[in-house]
């Protein structure tokens, strides 16, 4: 997108210099005017395997999986063909009293990989809509059981649960998703997340004390246990910084919820379908949440599909009543066809195990290359999601404030090295599960190189200011 400048013979622009003309496309999560000033977004025109190409023909290793979604790589003809065949056969079916049988086939496939008795699938179009659905369903579950006073939802700092009003309300207030827009939905309380590097309880201790899990219980008790409906949590917050919890955290969360009759909702929109080296991140700890939110990678990014999986007791209670809730595009047959083809690829190619193995290689690669970098405070990750936390002082862990310019610079350094990653602090990488050994090394090399370039620049400018 470029700024529209008046040309000879044109009508004068109706906007003044201080009022830039409105953008033709609203690019998400961007300051529109700043993006225009920088020459617009990277225009991606082609993708194949783990790489994408821009309009100028430059090739990038996609260390973002698009937006955490492209699990099985670009240009998979198995998925394209399945979608095309479905669209030719039946291009739409509602998810009401008429539906495509494909949605049932998909539910069966999901049942086979989901843990425990998460056996009822509520298909919806997007992750945010799945979060909304889960929030409504947990409240309805309690009111249908005669506990309508259970309205409070516990969420956590560093969380990202989407951009609809419910998702924004459940997301960490520091993300600013409702800034200037009004108050969040009533009844949402926040507690700390397991973030060992910056934990107010145990960052400087030898071992984690799980005090962050206990915060959840304290919040439940403070709200009055019989007023709390659910705890919403991402098993490993991704956009919030790839915060890998200690092994006992989720089992402790499960026990706390059980003790107080509170539902446990795991948002696996980012972590599901192999990203962390298990089918679902909850599988690392053998925990079965009451509701699991799925999205993003379910179709490998080829179609729009998300879902909420319900445990039997939740589904059984809700199945007896009319739930007036749904979306036109829920369970679209082409999206179901894409998901089925994507799941087949994940299974046939052993991508879950591959994510575990390649994730180890990526993490080792980042760790060894960044070991001596003064800006690299911590390198952490699980499976194929990793983060490099940037600090201005390694000893006292002072967060490095990048500012808009620093973010731009980091992004440029990454792109110059032929890599796309989430350029911010922390720097986050989450490539397709199909990456090769060579891709993993290239990614680690590029991220380390880009962070190293920032460090060198800082050293130069400090030396300059001292001379
Ligand atoms: N939940 C988590 C953990 C997410 O990271 C996101 C989006 O990034 C969502 C939900 C919302 O998903 P969507 O963007 O598909 O609405």
Residue nearest to atom 1 of ligand 1 (CA): 161
Compute, in angstroms, the gap from residue 150 CA to the centroid of ligand 1: 25
Q: Which two tokens stand for residue 43?
A: 């225009």
CATH number of the domain encompassing residue 102: 3.40.640.10
Residue 88 and residue 51 share a domain:
no
For residue 225, being part of any structural domain is answered with yes
Mean pLDDT throughout 34-40? 86
Compute, in angstroms, the gap from residue 130 CA to the centroid of ligand 1: 9
Residue 370 and residue 264 share a domain:
no
Residue 384 and residue 259 share a domain:
no
CA-nearest of 365, 424, 414 to 389 is 424
Q: Are 152 and 227 in contact (CB under 8 A)?
A: yes
What is the tally of structural domains in the chain?
2
Instruction: Name 309's bridge partners.
Output: 121, 292
CA distance 379 to 446: 15
Q: Could you tell me what percent of the chain has a pLDDT over 70?
A: 96
The answer, yes or no, to whether residue 216 has pLDDT greater than 90, is yes
Phi, psi of 122 (to 5 degrees): -105, 100
**Residue-level pLDDT at 39:** 86
Compute, in angstroms, the gap from residue 131 CA to the centroid of ligand 1: 8
**Residue-level pLDDT at 167:** 98
Residue 223 CB contacts under 8 Å (≥ 6 apart), including other chains: 152, 154, 189
Mean pLDDT throughout 323-341? 98
Q: Could you tell me what percent of the chain has a pLDDT over 90?
A: 90
For residue 254, being part of any structural domain is answered with yes
> What CA–CA distances, in Å, run from 307 to 19, 168, 381?
41, 18, 25
Mean pLDDT throughout 394-423? 95
Domain boundary among the residues 329, 348, 367 is at 348
Residue 278 and residue 304 share a domain:
yes
Strands 427-429 vs 385-393: parallel, antiparallel or unpaired: antiparallel
CA distance 433 to 281: 15
**Residue-level pLDDT at 463:** 86
For residue 24, being part of any structural domain is answered with no
Mean pLDDT throughout 77-93? 98
Compute, in angstroms, the gap from residue 76 CA to the centroid of ligand 1: 23
Residue nearest to atom 12 of ligand 1 (CA): 127
Residue 439 and residue 380 share a domain:
yes
Q: Are 315 and 119 in contact (CB under 8 A)?
A: yes
For residue 18, being part of any structural domain is answered with no
Residue 254 and residue 368 share a domain:
no
Q: Are 171 and 127 in contact (CB under 8 A)?
A: no
For residue 120, being part of any structural domain is answered with yes
Question: What residue numbers bound the domain in which 324 lies?
Answer: 77-348
Residue nearest to atom 13 of ligand 1 (CA): 127
Ligand 1 shell residues, CB under 6 Å? 126-128, 131, 160-162, 167, 234, 238-239, 267, 269-270, 295-296, 306
User: pTM value?
Assistant: 0.95
Domain boundary among the residues 348, 370, 391 is at 348
Residue 201 and residue 104 share a domain:
yes
CA distance 157 to 87: 42
Mean pLDDT throughout 403-421? 96
Q: How confident is the model at residue 348 (pLDDT cuts 50, 70, 90)?
A: very high
The answer, yes or no, to whether residue 3 has pLDDT greater than 70, is no
Residue 339 and residue 356 share a domain:
no
For residue 15, being part of any structural domain is answered with no
Three-state secondary structure call for residue 403 = helix
Residue 228 and residue 112 share a domain:
yes
Residue 456 and residue 407 share a domain:
yes
For residue 432, being part of any structural domain is answered with yes
Distance of CA 298 to the CA centre of its chain: 13
Q: How confident is the model at residue 106 (pLDDT cuts 50, 70, 90)?
A: very high
Residue nearest to atom 7 of ligand 1 (CA): 162
Q: Which atom of ligand 1 is nearest to the CA of 304?
A: 15
CATH number of the domain encompassing residue 461: 3.90.1150.10
Q: What is the DSSP string of 310-364?
A: EEHHHHHHHTTS------TTTT-HHHHHHHHHHHHHHHHTTHHHHHHHHHHHHHH
**Residue-level pLDDT at 464:** 84
Q: Are 142 and 130 in contact (CB under 8 A)?
A: no
Residue 327 and residue 307 share a domain:
yes
Residue 152 and residue 188 share a domain:
yes
For residue 36, being part of any structural domain is answered with no
Domain boundary among the residues 300, 329, 348 is at 348
């Amino acid at each position: 997108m470029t700024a529209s400048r008046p040309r000879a013979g044109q009508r004068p622009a109706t906007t003044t210099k201080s009022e830039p003309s409105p953008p033709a496309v609203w690019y998400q999560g961007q300051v529109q005017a700043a993006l225009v000033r920088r020459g617009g977004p990277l225009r991606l025109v082609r993708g194949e395997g783990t790489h994408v190409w821009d309009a100028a023909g430059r090739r990038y290793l996609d260390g973002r999986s698009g937006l955490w979604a492209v699990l099985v790589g670009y240009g998979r003809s198995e998925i394209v063909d399945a979608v095309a065949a479905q669209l030719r056969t039946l291009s739409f079916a509602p998810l009401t009293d008429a539906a495509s049988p494909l949605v049932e086939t998909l539910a069966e496939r999901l049942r086979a990989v989901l843990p425990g008795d998460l056996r009822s699938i509520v298909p919806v179009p997007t992750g945010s809509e799945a979060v909304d659905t889960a929030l409504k369903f947990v409240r309805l579950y309690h009111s249908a059981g005669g506990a309508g006073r259970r309205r409070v939802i516990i969420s956590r700092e560093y969380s990202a649960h989407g951009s609809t009003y419910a998702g924004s309300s459940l997301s960490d207030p520091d993300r600013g998703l409702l800034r200037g827009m009004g108050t969040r939905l009533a009844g949402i309380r926040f507690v700390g997340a397991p973030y060992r590097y910056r934990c107010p309880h145990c960052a400087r201790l030898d071992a984690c004390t799980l005090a962050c899990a206990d915060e959840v219980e304290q919040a439940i008790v403070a709200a009055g246990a019989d007023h709390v409906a659910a705890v919403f949590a991402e098993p490993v917050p991704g956009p919030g910084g790839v915060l890998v919890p200690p092994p006992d955290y989720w089992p402790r969360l499960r026990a706390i919820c059980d003790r107080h009759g509170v539902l446990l909702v795991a948002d696996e929109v980012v972590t599901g379908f192999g990203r962390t080296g298990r089918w679902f991140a909850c599988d690392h700890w053998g925990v079965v949440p009451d509701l699991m939110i799925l999205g993003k990678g379910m179709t490998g990014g080829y179609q729009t599909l998300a879902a909420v999986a319900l445990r039997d007791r939740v589904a059984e209670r809700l199945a007896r009543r009319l739930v007036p809730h749904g979306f036109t595009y829920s369970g679209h047959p082409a999206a179901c066809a894409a998901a089925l083809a994507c799941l087949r690829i994940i299974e046939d190619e052993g991508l879950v195990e591959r994510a575990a193995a390649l994730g180890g290689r990526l993490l080792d690669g980042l760790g060894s290359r960044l070991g001596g970098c003064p800006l690299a405070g911590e390198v952490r990750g699980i499976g194929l999601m990793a983060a490099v936390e940037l600090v201005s002082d390694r000893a006292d862990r002072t967060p490095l404030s990048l500012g808009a310019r620093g973010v731009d610079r980091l992004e440029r350094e990454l792109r110059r090295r032929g890599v796309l990653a989430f350029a911010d602090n922390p720097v986050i990488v989450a490539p397709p599960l199909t990456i090769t050994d060579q891709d993993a090394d290239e990614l680690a090399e590029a991220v380390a190189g880009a962070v190293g370039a920032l460090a060198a620049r800082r050293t130069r400018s400090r030396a300059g200011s001292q001379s």
